[in-house]
Amino acid sequence: MPAAGSDAAQSAPESNQRVRRIGIDLGTTFSSLAALDRHGNPVSVPNAAGELATPSVVLFEPDGKAVVGTEAARRAISAGNRVVQQAKRFLSDPEKSWDVGGRSVSPTEVSALILRDLLRSARTRFGAIEEAVVTVPVQFGDAERRRTVVAAKSAGLQRVTLIDEPVAAALCHILAGSDAEEGGLWFTELAAETTVLVFDLGGGTLDLAVVEYGANGVKVKAAGGDPELGGVDFTAAIADALAGQFARENAGLGPLADPRNDPDSEQALLNEAEEVKRSLSVREATQINIVHAGRRRSYKVERGQFEALTAHLVARAEKRVTELIREHTKGWGQIDAVLLTGGSTRIPAVRAMLKRLAGTTPSTELSPDQSVAHGACLYAGLLSRDESFAKNLLGDRADTGEWRDKLSRALPAQRTGRGLGILVREVGTNAHVPHYLIPPNSTLPASATQAYGTVRPGQRRVRIRVVQAGPTPDAPPTELGDCIVEPLPEGLPENAAIAVTLSLDASGLVHTTAVEQTGGVRAETKIVPNARRAAPAPPPATPAVDDDPVSIKLPPKPGTEPAKQPVKESSAEKPTKVNASGAAPPPPAPGRTGKEAVEGESEFWNIVAPEVKKQRRRRQTRS
């Protein structure tokens, strides 16, 4: 089997073949689609413009037509008020929308348009496509995953399966990597298990996975990441520093001096900063021009300056990697290789950080831009349990009749990146606190049941408030929705048992069941986020005592204590027995630059400012 994961596919699917095994990498900045060809090889499918990666940008024309991709990105300056970018980053926010020509557009709608454009190109070549595997970040919660599924179905898919991005990249390495000519994972019966760390730093998210593979199959040992760390943050750090310098040099313009205060100038600056970031990945210095408010400035930017500006972002990535290795492995000695994927892994400082941590040079075998989509369509092939795919993958070994077992063992069981639980009343304080039934990094699918007690005698109704841990260890949990159990039998004493079962399916979607143990009153629901939801109500100054008579609490068992972590309260509309309310908005995202970035900016311009002065002196001498 020819190696896959390269930017240019060695063979393309034939136009007269009905392709069913589709993988889609729906990215923050770029998206791509791959399909299995008649030989079982994953190959990238170009869009209508012949590009293997489509910018995740949508332009809304005045007549209502949506334009996706490079043309939309090109017009982000001239028609910025009608262009939407980075919608994936806002899938967690039910309140987020863009006003485009008097029309409100949600992140889910924008994602659907991007997926529809990718699928349109694929359908032109292959015909009907009704199912696909779509990739998501590890730290995507239930709300983001469901909105991704909604977007995919809005794009015309009937069946959608989700796979975490770094797990897809691992499958690309295992099944179609450098040894793929000998059958990928199956080229030999490995004497020992191999463990790899997948480091996926894309345009908007950092995703990590520790994956073990060998003769016994593929296992995801741990997964994690940061959903708000990606290449756009590196670009923003450059843009902010340059904008600050430009504003200081043109202070006489007042508020107009800052390019970030003008949407068109800000977009032009971000475009230039993106090019600077890419250039500094392959050379030591580059030039950038800023044109704003009738003024033009040119600055020389060196790699060392870029690294000073973004040191806090690299440190953030290092922290996430270190936490994952420390908490879920026996140390770096257990990691046989570090696999890089995602366009932002081209940044030299990122590679140097990983080399320092792992003690070995990270592998660049995978295509940074295509390996995730390739792994997704391989996952689709594994799910199909198709004999022809097995023969293509296993070669002569498929004739032994064991191919079904081999395909099953190659299917990786994913891990949940976030804990799942419910809000309970803490005995003694009466404060609402989360109690997690399923901890983070549990193998999927996962299910857990816990008995809780009513908070007062004669309680006739229980509201199960489902919460999910934050996307990072320092982020607060978010409330997903409610499950109502009613009517409870009359005359129940305090602490009447309510058994709550929380489940996560193989795609990481949440399901909830609650049963009153005396009368058997049952409520069952899937969490379905609403398109819009009121902002969380501010927490009360003191813990409530009897304002919520439908809550539950942990039975007073020794050694059983709920997690004492504050949770974001919700002011959702009244829930029903079968529908759950939407997800609470996430905590405010941090600003583009923090204290470390300010320090980096200072160091940056201590170097650049003298260069600017030299250029001015040279111009004055020539004149």
| Those residues with Cβ within 8 angstroms of residue 501's Cβ, 6 or more apart along the chain or in another chain | 447, 448, 449, 512, 513, 514, 515
Quick check: 542 pLDDT over 60? no
Q: Are strands 22-25 and 131-136 parallel, antiparallel or unpaired?
A: parallel
What domains can be seen in the chain, in order of their start residue? 420-553 (2.60.34.10)
Q: What's the CA angle centered on 236, arms 233 and 239, to 5 degrees?
A: 160
Cα–Cα separations (whole angstroms), residue 447 to 50, 419, 430, 477, 509: 45, 12, 27, 19, 12
Question: Hey, is 595 helix, strand or coil?
Answer: helix
Quick check: 7 pLDDT over 80? no
Q: Which residues of 525-554 are buried (b: 16+ CB within 10 A; e: fewer)?
A: bbbbbbeebbebeeeeeeeeeeeeebbbbb
Among 496, 501, 497, which Cα is nearest to 514's?
501
Quick check: 304 pLDDT over 80? yes
Beta-strand (E) ranges in 177-316? 194-201, 206-214, 217-226, 285-292, 295-302
Report phi then psi at 589, rounded to 5: -70, 145
pLDDT winner (highest mean) among 9-23, 206-220, 335-349: 335-349
Q: Are 151 and 106 in contact (CB under 8 A)?
A: no
d(CA 62, CA 52): 28
Average pLDDT of the segment spanning 156-168: 96
Query: For 170-212, what is each residue's pLDDT tens digit?
Result: 999 998 865 444 445 544 455 578 999 999 999 999 999 999 9
Residue 50, judged by CB atoms within 10 A of its CB (0-12, 13-18, 19+), counts as exposed
Name the more confident of 446 and 579: 446
From its phi and psi, is residue 520 left (phi > 0), alpha (psi between -120 and 50) or beta? left
Query: For 408-437, what is each residue's pLDDT tens digit?
Result: 778 898 999 899 998 887 777 778 889 999
Q: Are 39 and 11 in contact (CB under 8 A)?
A: yes
84: which 2 tokens?
Answer: 């939407």
d(CA 60, CA 43): 30
pLDDT of residue 554: 65
Cα–Cα separations (whole angstroms), residue 609 to 121, 399, 408, 604, 622: 48, 69, 60, 8, 20
d(CA 74, CA 63): 19
d(CA 490, CA 519): 10
- Match 């924008």 to its residue by tokens: 110
110: which 2 tokens?
Answer: 């924008």
- The single-letter DSSP state of residue 311 is H
Q: Are 509 and 142 in contact (CB under 8 A)?
A: yes
Name the more confident of 554 and 95: 95
| Those residues with Cβ within 8 angstroms of residue 349's Cβ, 6 or more apart along the chain or in another chain | 307, 310, 311, 314
pLDDT of residue 349: 98
Average pLDDT of the segment spanning 252-266: 93
pLDDT of residue 5: 44
Cα–Cα separations (whole angstroms), residue 614 to 24, 251, 290, 621: 50, 20, 18, 10
Report phi then psi at 228, rounded to 5: -125, 35
Cα–Cα separations (whole angstroms), residue 222 to 87, 102, 505: 27, 45, 17
Q: Are 372 and 42 in contact (CB under 8 A)?
A: no
Q: Are 171 and 379 in contact (CB under 8 A)?
A: yes
d(CA 336, CA 466): 39
Q: Are strands 510-516 and 497-504 parallel, antiparallel or unpaired?
A: antiparallel
- Match 């004493």 to its residue by tokens: 493
d(CA 15, CA 122): 10
Among 414, 4, 26, which Cα is nearest to 198's?
414
d(CA 152, CA 24): 10
pLDDT of residue 487: 85
Beta-strand (E) ranges in 439-526? 446-454, 462-468, 478-485, 497-504, 510-516, 522-526
- Match 């999927």 to its residue by tokens: 444
Average pLDDT of the segment spanning 150-171: 96
pLDDT of residue 527: 62
d(CA 304, CA 604): 8
Give the residues across from 100 on adjacent strands: 103
H/E run at residue 325: helix 311-328
Quick check: 589 pLDDT over 90? no
pLDDT of residue 399: 59
Name the more confident of 542 and 225: 225
Quick check: 26 pLDDT over 80? yes
pLDDT band for position 526 (cuts 50, 70, 90): low
Among 413, 397, 394, 402, which Cα is nearest to 175's?
394
Residue 341, judged by CB atoms within 10 A of its CB (0-12, 13-18, 19+), counts as buried
Question: Hey, is 438 helix, strand or coil?
Answer: strand
267: which 2 tokens?
Answer: 């977009």
Residue 413, judged by CB atoms within 10 A of its CB (0-12, 13-18, 19+), counts as middle
pLDDT of residue 555: 60
Q: Are 529 and 583 in contact (CB under 8 A)?
A: yes
Query: For 246-255, what is each residue's pLDDT tens digit?
Result: 999 999 998 8
Quick check: 347 pLDDT over 60? yes
Name the more confident of 13 and 294: 294
- CB atoms < 10 A from the CB of 398, how many? 21
Quick check: 612 pLDDT over 50? no
Quick check: 226 pLDDT over 70? yes
pLDDT of residue 597: 37
